[in-house]
Amino acid sequence: NARGKGGSVMKTIVKNGKIVSPSETYEADLCIENGVISCIGTNLEQKFASDEVQVIDAAGKYVLPGGVDVHTHMDLDVGFSRAVDDFYDGTVAAACGGTTSIVDHMAFGPAGCNLHHQLNEYHRLADDKAVIDYGFHGTVQHVNDEILDELESMVEDGVPSVKVYLTYGFKINDDGVLEVLKRMKELNGITAFHCENHDVVEHLKKVYSESGKTAPIYHAKSRPNIAEAEAVRRVLYLAKLAGDAPVYIVHLSCKESLEAVEEARKARQKNIFVETCTQYLTMTEEKYKDEDGLKYIMSPPLRTDADREALWKGLENGEIQIVATDHCPFNYGIEKQMGKDDFTKCPNGAPGVEERMILLFSEGVMKNRISLNRFVEVACTNPAKVYGLYPKKGILEPGADADLIILDPEREQTLTHANMHGAVDYTVYEGVPVKGYIDLVMQRGNVIAKENRFTGARGAGEFIHRKTRDLKDESSCLR
Ligand code: URP
Ligand code: ZN
Ligand code: ZN
C-alpha cells in the first residue's frame, strides 16, 4: 500500500458526491484505505495530513456501488462456436461500463464431465485475464449421485449456485431438477434455471424450417411466451415440491412468466428470485425484421411492447429483483452469419455487459420508471445479496470493498460501438441516446476506468469465493 511522508497508509477521499444506497441518497465524503471503505462522513479531508490523502471531487455527481452483473458468458464454448469476449476483453468492457463484479455461467463441458472439470477450466480461462472481480455459477449437465455429492465441494470452493437448463443439448428432466433443488436447499445454495419448454421449441423450429420460414423473426416465433412461462411454472412447482427450495429464474422475458411468479408468491411460496436483462426492457421483436436481425438472436428472444411494460412494472414493484445482461457476444460479421440462411444455425447470444449500467440508469431512472435507489438495488445490491457477494460488494458502507462509480447525470451521450471496449463487432444499442455518463470506475480503491478509458490491469481481478445465503435475508430483496 502507498504511504504518505509520515508513513501512514495513503487514503483516497471521494468528496462532495451524492452517495446512493437502496434506501437513501445523501451528500457525503467517502474515505478509502487499503481498498476498503473506511468511513463515510463530512469534511473528511480536514481530518488527515495533505500528503496522506488523494482527493477526487464528485460534486454534482452520483457515487454508486460498482455494478454487479450475475449473468455473463465470457469465452463461452457452445461447441460449434465460441463467444468472442474472453475474460480479459469482456471484463475490460464491464469495467468501462461501470460493472466491477461478474458471476459468470460456466459452459457445458465434455459429456459426462463432473462439476470441478468445468470449475478448473474456468479458473484457467479467467485467473490471469479478468480485470474485475469474478465468481462462477456451476452448470449441471447431468444428474447422478456423484454430481449431487459434488455440489457440496463446489459450495466449499466458493460456488454456492448452479444453473440448470431446461432446453439445449444437456437439458435436465424433472426428476433431475427435483434432486438438484433439494440438494442445493440442504446446502443453503441456490439453483438458477433457463426456462423454456424444449419440446415446444424444437417442434416449432422444425415446423418453421420445413416451411421455409428461416428468417430471424422465426427465431422469436419458435420460442413463444408460453413456452417460457410453462417452464417457469413447472420449475416453480418443482421448487415448491422440494420444500420451497431457493429458485432463481434467469433472463425472464415476458408477462406470462411474470404472472406465474406472482401467482406462486401469492400462494406463499418462498425463496423465489427473478432476473430480467437490459435487452428485454429496452427492445422488442421488431428488431428481428431489420436487415441485421441476426444481431438480436438470443434465447429467450426479444418480445413485445406489452412484455416490456410488464417487466418495467415488475422491476418497480419488486416482483423482479435483478437486472443482468446474459452477455454472450458473437461477431455479426462472422459467427452470426452462420444463421444468414437459417436462424436455427445462428449462435444464440448478444453483448451487453458494457451498456447495462448506463442504459438502465437512463431508461429507468431518467425516464422515471424506477427510482435512483431502486436502480442501485436491482443492478448492484440485490445481485450481490442473492449470490453471496454482499456486503463486500453491492453497497457503499464502511467495511465494503471500494468498488464504485462516479456518474454524471447531466452529461448526455449516444451509445455506439466505436466507443466500446469488448472484442465483438457491434452493439445492439447503436445510436441509442442516453442521459448520464460514467466518469470514473474504481475497484478496491484502484481507478480502473476514467472517461471511458480503461486504466486497470490484466489479471488484477480476484476470484470471489462466494458464501451461501442466509435464507432469512430473503425478505430484504422483496418489497
Ligand atoms: O441466447 C443466449 N441467451 N445465449 C446464452 C446462453 C443462455 O441461454 O443463457
Ligand atoms: Zn439462458
Ligand atoms: Zn445465459
**pLDDT at position 184, please?**
98
Pocket probe for ligand 1: among 78, 166, 276, 299, the residue whose CB has the most ligand atoms within 8 Å is 299
Sign, Cα dihedral of 254, 256, 260, 263: positive
**pLDDT at position 49, please?**
83
Q: Which of 66, 64, 67, 68 is nearest to 30 (CA)?
A: 64
Nearby residues for ligand 3 (ion, Cβ within 5 Å): 326
Are residues 436 and 97 in contact, defined by beta-carbon separation less than 8 angstroms? no
299 lines ligand 1 (CB under 6 A): yes
Ligand 1 centre and the CA of 287: distance in Å?
A: 18
- C-alpha 382/C-alpha 384 separation (Å) is 5
- C-alpha 416/C-alpha 338 separation (Å) is 24
- C-alpha 373/C-alpha 151 separation (Å) is 35
298 lines ligand 1 (CB under 6 A): yes
Vertex 249: Cα angle to 393 and 263 (nearest 5) = 120
- C-alpha 454/C-alpha 437 separation (Å) is 15
SS3 of the chain: the string is CCECCCCCECEEEEEEEEEECCCCEEEEEEEEECCEEEEEECCHHHHCCHHHEEEEECCCCEEEECEEEEEECCCCECCCCECCCCHHHHHHHHHHCCEEEEEEECCCCCCCCCHHHHHHHHHHHHCCCCCCEEEEEEEECCCCHHHHHHHHHHHHCCCCEEEEECCCCCCCCHHHHHHHHHHHHHCCCEEEEECCCHHHHHHHHHHHHHCCCCCCHHHHHCCCHHHHHHHHHHHHHHHHHCCCCCEEECCCCCHHHHHHHHHHHHCCCCCEEEEEEHHHHHCCHHHHHCCCHHHHCCCCCCCCHHHHHHHHHHHHHCCCCEEECCECCCCCCCHHHHHCCCHHHCCCCECCCCCHHHHHHHHHHCCCCCCHHHHHHHHHHHHHHHCCCCCCCCCCCCCCECCEEEEEEEEEEECCHHHCCCCCCCCCCCCCEEEEEEEEEEECCEEEEECCEECCCCCCCCECCCCCCCHHHHHHHCC
Ligand 1 atom at minimum distance from 165 CA: 8
139 lines ligand 1 (CB under 6 A): no
Q: Could you tell me which residues come within 8 angstroms of residue 327 by beta carbon, excluding any fewer than 6 positions away? A: 69, 71, 72, 73, 74, 85, 90, 94, 349, 350, 351, 352, 353
326 lines ligand 1 (CB under 6 A): yes
Ligand 1 atom at minimum distance from 348 CA: 1
Rounded to 10 degrees, the C-alpha dihedral 453/411/60/354 comes to -40
Phi, psi of 455 (to 5 degrees): -125, 10
- C-alpha 274/C-alpha 478 separation (Å) is 10
Are residues 325 and 360 in contact, defined by beta-carbon separation less than 8 angstroms? no
* Mean pLDDT per 10-residue segment, the chain (479 residues): 70 98 98 98 91 95 99 98 98 99 98 98 98 98 98 98 97 98 97 98 97 98 98 98 98 98 97 98 98 98 98 98 98 98 98 98 98 98 97 98 98 98 98 98 98 98 91 52
> Environment class of residue 61 by beta-carbon count within 10 Å: exposed (0-12), middle (13-18) or buried (19+)?
buried
Cα separations in angstroms, 9 against 48, 229, 383, 445 = 11, 54, 32, 13
Radius of gyration of the chain from Cα atoms?
22
Q: Could you tell me which residues come within 8 angstroms of residue 199 by beta carbon, excluding any fewer than 6 positions away? A: none
Are residues 344 and 205 in contact, defined by beta-carbon separation less than 8 angstroms? yes
| pTM given for the model | 0.97
Residue nearest to atom 5 of ligand 1 (CA): 349
Ligand 1 atom at minimum distance from 297 CA: 1
Ligand 2 centre and the CA of 301: distance in Å?
A: 10
Ligand 3 centre and the CA of 71: distance in Å?
A: 6
Residue nearest to atom 7 of ligand 1 (CA): 299
Sign, Cα dihedral of 109, 114, 120, 126: positive
Residue nearest to atom 2 of ligand 1 (CA): 349
Are residues 366 and 360 in contact, defined by beta-carbon separation less than 8 angstroms? no
Pocket probe for ligand 1: among 298, 330, 335, 345, the residue whose CB has the most ligand atoms within 8 Å is 298
Sign, Cα dihedral of 326, 248, 23, 263: positive
Among all ligands shown, which has an atom nearest to the Cα of 195? 2
**pLDDT at position 407, please?**
99
Among all ligands shown, which has an atom nearest to the Cα of 168? 1
438 lines ligand 1 (CB under 6 A): no
